[in-house]
Structure 1
Amino acid sequence: MAAAGGGDAEAEEASAFGHAPVPADVCLPYGPHPDQVVDLYAPRGGTGPAPLVVLLHGGAWRAPYDRHHVSPLAARLAGYGFAVASVEYRRGPGPTDRGSRTDGAPGEDISVTDDLPAPGESGTGNGNGSTGAAQAGSPPGAVPRAGRWPETFDDVALAVDRLPALIGRVQAGEGRSAVRGIPQGDPAWARVDPACTVLTGHSAGGHLALWAAARHRLPVGSRWHCAGPPGTGGCSPPPFRGVVALAPIADFTTARRLGVCSDAAVQLLGGPEEWPARLPYADNAALLPTGVRTTVVQGATDADVPPDVARAFVAAAERAGQPVRLVLLDGVGHFPLIDPAAPAVAVVADEIARLAGREPGRDSCPGPGPGRDRDSEPGRHSGREPAHQPGSEPGH
Structure 2
Amino acid sequence: MRRRTLLAVPALGLVPAALLSACSDEPAPGRGDEAPGGSRQDGAVRITYGTDPSQLVALHRPSGASRGVVVVIHGGFWKSAYDHTLGTPLARSLAEQGWTAWNIEYRRVGNGGGTPETFDDVAAAIDALADVDDLDLSTVVTLGHSAGGHLAVWAAGRPDPAVRVTHTISQAGVLDLVASERAGLGGGAAASLLGHTPGPDDAQWDPRQQVPLDVPVWAVHAPDDDTVPFAQATAYVDAATAAGAEATLVEVTGGHFGVIDPSSPAWTAQLEVLDTIG
Q: TM-score, normalising length from structure 1?
A: 0.60
Return structure 1 stretches of 4+ with deviation > 4 angstroms: none
Paired with 1:73 and 1:21, the residues of 2 have a C-alpha distance of 14
Would the aligned equivalents of 2:156 and 2:166 in 1 still touch at CA under 8 Å? no
Paired with 1:258 and 1:269, the residues of 2 have a C-alpha distance of 16
Per-residue Cα deviation, 1:360-392 (whole angstroms, up to 9, x for no partner): xxxxxxxxxxxxxxxxxxxxxxxxxxxxxxxxx
Would the aligned equivalents of 1:54 and 1:197 in 2 still touch at CA under 8 Å? yes
In structure 2, the partner of 1:57 is 74
Residue 9 of structure 1 deviates from its aligned partner by 7.4
Per-residue Cα deviation, 1:336-363 (whole angstroms, up to 9, x for no partner): 1111222221111221232x2x3xxxxx
Provide the aligned length of Structure 1 versus Structure 2: 252
Matches within 5 A, 1:12-31: 12-24=15-27, 25-31=44-50
Residue 26 of structure 1 deviates from its aligned partner by 0.5
Q: Which of 155, 162, 185 pairs up with 1:260?
A: 185
Would the aligned equivalents of 2:70 and 2:140 in 1 still touch at CA under 8 Å? yes
Would the aligned equivalents of 1:302 and 1:333 in 2 still touch at CA under 8 Å? yes
Q: Which runs of 5+ in 1 are unaligned?
A: 1-7, 95-127, 129-146, 172-191, 217-225, 227-234, 359-396
Q: Which has the larger radius of gyration?
A: 1
Would the aligned equivalents of 2:12 and 2:258 in 1 still touch at CA under 8 Å? no
Q: Give RMSD over aligned pairs.
A: 1.9
Paired with 1:301 and 1:11, the residues of 2 have a C-alpha distance of 12
Matches within 5 A, 1:130-145: none
Would the aligned equivalents of 1:21 and 1:71 in 2 still touch at CA under 8 Å? no
SS in 2 for 1:155: helix
Return the letter of the residue paired with 2:23. Answer: A
Would the aligned equivalents of 1:204 and 1:248 in 2 still touch at CA under 8 Å? yes
In structure 2, the partner of 1:388 is none
Q: Which runs of 5+ in 2 are unaligned?
A: 1-10, 28-43
Paired with 1:15 and 1:87, the residues of 2 have a C-alpha distance of 21
Higher helix proportion, which one? 2
Identity %: 35
Paired with 1:255 and 1:20, the residues of 2 have a C-alpha distance of 28
Residue 87 of structure 1 deviates from its aligned partner by 0.7
Matches within 5 A, 1:220-369: 226=160, 235-238=161-164, 240-272=165-197, 275-276=198-199, 278-330=201-253, 332-354=254-276, 356=277, 358=278
Residue 159 of structure 1 deviates from its aligned partner by 1.3
SS in 1 for 2:259: helix
Per-residue Cα deviation, 1:87-127 (whole angstroms, up to 9, x for no partner): 11000124xxxxxxxxxxxxxxxxxxxxxxxxxxxxxxxxx
Per-residue Cα deviation, 1:69-95 (whole angstroms, up to 9, x for no partner): 22111111111111100111000124x
Return the letter of the residue paired with 1:21. Answer: S
Q: TM-score, normalising length from structure 2?
A: 0.84
Return the letter of the residue paired with 1:50. Answer: R
